[in-house]
Chain A
Amino acid sequence: MQTHLADFIKDTPAGREADAILRSCVHCGFCNATCPTFQLLGDELDGPRGRIYLIKEMLEGQPVTARTQLHLDRCLTCRACESTCPSGVNYHRLYEIGRAVMEQRVPRSLAARATRLLLREALPRRWMFKPAVRLGQLLRPLLPGVLADKVPRPAGARIGGGPQPAAHPRRMVALAGCVQPTLAPNTNAATARVLDRLGIELVEVAGAACCGALRYHLDAREQALDDMRRVIDAWWPELESGRVEGFVMTASGCGGHVREYAALLKHDPAYADKAARIAAMTRDASEVLAAEQPRLLELLRAARAGVGERVAFHSPCTLQHAQKIRGVVEALLTAAGYPLSPVADAHLCCGSAGTYSLTQPVLARQLRDHKLAALHAGSPDLLATANVGCQMHLQSGSTLPVRHWIELIDERLRAAS
């Protein structure tokens, strides 16, 4: 696509990156077909091709107003468009660059600013967040994807109550997460148990809790980068010690973001290398298990747990589109004896998308209800997913239990012992 970026950005690193991305879009429109908001709204301005165009116009110096803001705000950053795009357009980077410019150009109303401030200041702080959770339904929909706060744990602590699993020569580090310990404490515990059976010790490191995604997506970039640096600082000694094989992510929202560290910190000389190494050693829990498949299958066979409940799996966008991990969890669940019920339009976002459910409640709810209809269609006994955000969002609309898939694997293995 032809571009004429304006002087204010043309010769900056962001400008050059945006220009290259814009030029890789050939305007074929394939991406609109899989965009959740285009499907709901049917307006070019609410699809990726139109958003790319809106960003292009803004970077070319055209006046921007709340109109452009509305359509960019409606984007879930689910990245389904990237999965669909044959031309390899790096939409999310363009979107980030575009948002940064937009935040400078288009003022938000006082109420909108207050909401966003509340979200990014209150949620990452456990002392404010915990009572808020107790307050219940009001804040519930916005917990998804919010992965912040520091969970005070002793350095290199083992995870999960009960008897201490044996120390193993193999060791991996998990991200504590902030909302997950409160809302889904069993996820990391189950992961630790499963890895223990596979001969891998899983630990958490104090200080590494908030991956920075929350603030990043609420346009608090500098604060977000600090969050990221804190995680790196906390993990770096573990990495240097040479004792850890990798960093295991049990929330795909976190995983997707940590994997972006290399790109996000590449202009920070003090952190660029460290960020790149950590990003390269980051794995989703499903990848870790898939790599241990022979041993896992042996354990599962030995467990003889019979046929499990019928599961409908929702693959989070951060798993399938951002990390491009597709079919791996499904294969693990099948291997563990859980029949999978078919799910139509599995590429679509559930509407959780970080704080989207609070900032765009109407669309988020429609997306959730469509997703639940698709998940329920095959009459499953329970729903499973791979991100605490999606888990809570879906649970808010379903009477079926919504679990993290690793809990299901854990249960199978525990059936044996």
Chain B
Amino acid sequence: MSMPTTAERPFTVDRSLLIRRLREVLPAQALLFEEEDLRPYDCDGLTAFRQLPLLVALPEDEVQVQAILRICHELRAPVVARGAATGLSGGATPHPDGVLVALAKLKKIIRVDPVSRTAVVQPGVRNLAVSEAAAPYGLYYAPDPSSQIACTIGGNVAENSGGVHCLKYGLTVHNVLRVRGLSIEGEIVEFGNAALDAPGYDLLALINGSEGLLALITEVTVKLTPKPELAQVVVASFADVRRAGDAVASIIAAGIIPAGLEMMDRRAILAVEPYANAGYDMDAEALLLCESDGTPEEVAEEIGRMTTVLEKSGAAGIRVSQNEAERLRFWAGRKAAFPAVGRLTPDYLCMDGTIPRKHLADMLEAIATLSGKYALRCANVFHAGDGNLHPLIMYDANQPGELERATAFGAEILELSIHFGGTITGEHGVGIEKIDLMAEQFTLAEIGAFHRLKAAFDEHGLLNPGKGVPTLARCREYTLARVGGEQNPTNPMNAPRR
């Protein structure tokens, strides 16, 4: 494995001392250090990066997390937080000299308050579990990443995750009121406030999307949303992707804000249907899922308008969910799309660029061309409403050269995203995967500002080193390599693998 180069590994950690100290504060089964036990922790949802951690710690409460942090800080050992490891940018990829702190055992829902419509949860609580706990009160937690069955609230905050309903209800940052965390020194830090606004800087926005670089999140207060009286989803099929892309722009242009607006292309549909039995149109080149929620009158009116726009945009077929079970089935297909693509290919890279909606159709065509160029198939699943693309580049890690081709393919997509006026990440974070492309997106001065911010929280750079923000040296190397037209030698994906 290749990950951090020696220049980025200034850590000299005394492993046996670290183990000895951690054993004093953790129960025996909560500390893993034999290679056999560490292996299954060597990657997250981005399997192209694998790295054995030095140790894995499985704390059971905040006190233990604090003790771990204090020891790591004292011994200058890196700390990588891990939730459910569903992340797709390698945010939870371990550090070879560091402790991977897996937070899955911190999964208490501390309270659900139907009056203030909030819930206070530990970081290892699964996203869906929050909505399940709120359901008896007619409430739910709005951000719903497709991984919501498994991903944790801590991971959601760290990645500022989105979901199919974020077009209308906002990302994680818009649905979190307060975050309690621990600094690398083990000090409690509070971000935000139970009230809607708070005096001073808005540090809450800072912790959302911080990718484990600023603090370990130990408690989150989330906002709960009343369940709409009714929700219905329109599934429109299209005979070509360009029309589907244009239909998305037309819906938004018509002043409609759907509760969700998602797109899948033919490959994705074919992968998903056998799992979900959603009844999707198997002849379609693209499907749009467009949801309306509110009172029955509002929904009827909005569905009518959506249908009109979709028909005008050339939809070949339109179905409207007739009951809640059918609506959930239509969504289940979309939500399982990434892993369902695993039926078509042993491995995939899931990209995460965001572009202005009006370029969707152009982007899809460009991706089709690149697919030919790299001789790799690509399935497309989009949060179309906010222009967030998830091309799934299919490859076979057992075939030499395919990962490298997939990586180059992905990099071209992200460069195109920037070219179309978009960004390299919509919701999956930078992690380790897109770290070089940060140099494409930001100037050196901007990157320098990120480093100063990080240093204010974590002077020694112990929290998730090598992720999120590239070193300035790495940026320069990347830029040089790009100018030279070669593959970037420092990109971990380009180096030989184990």
Q: Is A1's CB under 8 angstroms from B147's CB? A: no
Q: Is B150's CB under 8 angstroms from A53's CB? A: no
A33 to B47, CA, bound (A): 19
- Please name all residues of chain A whose beta carbon is closer than 8 Å to the beta carbon of B386 when the two chains form the complex: none
Q: Is A87's CB under 8 angstroms from B343's CB? A: yes
Taken residue by residue from 25 to 43, chain A's Cβ proximity to chain B (1 for < 8 Å, 0 otherwise) reads as: 1111110111000100011
Decide yes or no: A28 and B339 within 8 Å by CB, A33-B149, A88-B275 being known contacts: yes
Decide yes or no: A43 and B58 within 8 Å by CB, A23-B346, A64-B36 being known contacts: yes
B174 to chain A, nearest CB (A): 24
A323 to B39, CA, bound (A): 32
- Please name all residues of chain B whose beta carbon is closer than 8 Å to the beta carbon of A49 when the two chains form the complex: 40
A65 to B35, CA, bound (A): 11
Decide yes or no: A86 and B126 within 8 Å by CB, A2-B397, A50-B40 being known contacts: no
Cβ-defined partner of B37 (8 Å) among A26, A27, A38, A67: A67
Chain B CB within 8 A of A62 CB: yes
Interface centre among A3, A28, A63, A89 (most CB of B within 10 A): A28
A32 to B129, CA, bound (A): 13
Decide yes or no: A3 and B47 within 8 Å by CB, A33-B126, A62-B39 being known contacts: no
Cβ-defined partner of A62 (8 Å) among B36, B102, B150: B36
Q: Is A86's CB under 8 angstroms from B336's CB? A: yes
Decide yes or no: A29 and B39 within 8 Å by CB, A42-B104, A88-B343 being known contacts: no
B212 to chain A, nearest CB (A): 17
- Please name all residues of chain B whose beta carbon is closer than 8 Å to the beta carbon of A25 when the two chains form the complex: 342
A64 to B346, CA, bound (A): 25
- Please name all residues of chain B whose beta carbon is closer than 8 Å to the beta carbon of A27 when the two chains form the complex: 43-45, 47
Q: Which residue from chain A places its CB closest to the CB of B42 in the assembled complex?
A: A53
- Contacting A at CB under 8 A, from B40-67, are 40-41, 43-45, 47, 58
B387 to chain A, nearest CB (A): 24
Q: Is A45's CB under 8 angstroms from B339's CB? A: no
Decide yes or no: A1 and B34 within 8 Å by CB, A50-B40, A87-B343 being known contacts: no
Chain A CB within 8 A of B348 CB: yes
A29 to B86, CA, bound (A): 6
Q: Is A87's CB under 8 angstroms from B58's CB? A: no
A319 to chain B, nearest CB (A): 19
- Contacting A at CB under 8 A, from B267-326, are 272, 274-276
- Please name all residues of chain B whose beta carbon is closer than 8 Å to the beta carbon of A26 when the two chains form the complex: 45, 47, 338-339, 341-342, 347-348
Interface centre among A4, A30, A68 (most CB of B within 10 A): A30
Interface centre among B126, B149, B347 (most CB of A within 10 A): B149
Chain A CB within 8 A of B173 CB: no
A32 to B40, CA, bound (A): 13
- Please name all residues of chain A whose beta carbon is closer than 8 Å to the beta carbon of B339 when the two chains form the complex: 26, 28, 30, 85-87
A84 to B336, CA, bound (A): 10
- Please name all residues of chain A whose beta carbon is closer than 8 Å to the beta carbon of B40 when the two chains form the complex: 44-45, 49-50, 53-54, 57
Q: How large is the interface on A (under 10, 10 to 19, 20 to 34, 35 or more residues)?
A: 35 or more
Chain B CB within 8 A of A24 CB: yes
A23 to B347, CA, bound (A): 8
Cβ-defined partner of A1 (8 Å) among B35, B150, B336, B347: B347
Q: How large is the interface on B (under 10, 10 to 19, 20 to 34, 35 or more residues)?
A: 35 or more
Cβ-defined partner of A29 (8 Å) among B29, B41, B150, B340: B150
Decide yes or no: A1 and B39 within 8 Å by CB, A26-B339, A32-B84 being known contacts: no
Q: Which residue from chain A places its CB closest to the CB of B29 in the assembled complex?
A: A43
A38 to B85, CA, bound (A): 14
Q: Which residue from chain B places its CB closest to the CB of A60 in the assembled complex?
A: B39
Q: Is A44's CB under 8 angstroms from B41's CB? A: yes
Chain A CB within 8 A of B105 CB: yes
Taken residue by residue from 138 to 174, chain A's Cβ proximity to chain B (1 for < 8 Å, 0 otherwise) reads as: 0000000000000000000000000000000000000
Chain A CB within 8 A of B6 CB: no
Chain A CB within 8 A of B162 CB: no
Chain A CB within 8 A of B192 CB: no
Q: Is B342's CB under 8 angstroms from A87's CB? A: yes
- Please name all residues of chain B whose beta carbon is closer than 8 Å to the beta carbon of A62 when the two chains form the complex: 35-36, 39
Taken residue by residue from 114 to 141, chain B's Cβ proximity to chain A (1 for < 8 Å, 0 otherwise) reads as: 0000000000101010000000000000
Q: Is B37's CB under 8 angstroms from A45's CB? A: yes
- Contacting A at CB under 8 A, from B313-367, are 336-343, 346-348
- Please name all residues of chain A whose beta carbon is closer than 8 Å to the beta carbon of B126 when the two chains form the complex: 33
A297 to chain B, nearest CB (A): 22
- Please name all residues of chain A whose beta carbon is closer than 8 Å to the beta carbon of B15 when the two chains form the complex: none
A62 to B29, CA, bound (A): 22
- Please name all residues of chain B whose beta carbon is closer than 8 Å to the beta carbon of A87 when the two chains form the complex: 339-343
Q: Is B36's CB under 8 angstroms from A65's CB? A: yes
Q: Is A24's CB under 8 angstroms from B147's CB? A: no
Q: Which residue from chain B places its CB closest to the CB of A85 in the assembled complex?
A: B339
Q: Which residue from chain A places its CB closest to the CB of B340 in the assembled complex?
A: A86
A24 to B104, CA, bound (A): 25
Q: Which residue from chain A places its CB closest to the CB of B345 in the assembled complex?
A: A26
- Contacting A at CB under 8 A, from B54-98, are 58, 84-86
- Please name all residues of chain B whose beta carbon is closer than 8 Å to the beta carbon of A42 when the two chains form the complex: 58, 102, 104-105, 107, 124
Q: Is A88's CB under 8 angstroms from B274's CB? A: yes
A28 to B147, CA, bound (A): 8
- Contacting B at CB under 8 A, from A337-388, are none
Q: Which residue from chain B places its CB closest to the CB of A22 in the assembled complex?
A: B346
Q: Is A57's CB under 8 angstroms from B39's CB? A: yes
- Please name all residues of chain B whose beta carbon is closer than 8 Å to the beta carbon of A63 when the two chains form the complex: 36
A358 to chain B, nearest CB (A): 22
A27 to B47, CA, bound (A): 7
A43 to B102, CA, bound (A): 8
Q: List 27 A-B contacts (CB under 8 A).
A: A1-B47, A1-B346, A4-B398, A23-B398, A28-B86, A28-B150, A28-B342, A29-B84, A29-B151, A30-B150, A30-B339, A42-B107, A43-B29, A43-B104, A50-B40, A53-B39, A54-B36, A54-B40, A57-B39, A57-B40, A63-B36, A67-B37, A85-B339, A86-B336, A87-B340, A87-B342, A88-B275
Report the 3 A-B pairs with minimum CB-CB distance, sorted nearest first: A87-B342, A2-B397, A86-B336
For the A-B complex with A30-B339, A42-B102 known, give 13 more contacts whose Cβ atoms are closer than 8 Å.
A26-B338, A26-B339, A29-B151, A30-B86, A42-B58, A42-B104, A42-B107, A49-B40, A57-B36, A64-B36, A67-B37, A86-B276, A88-B342
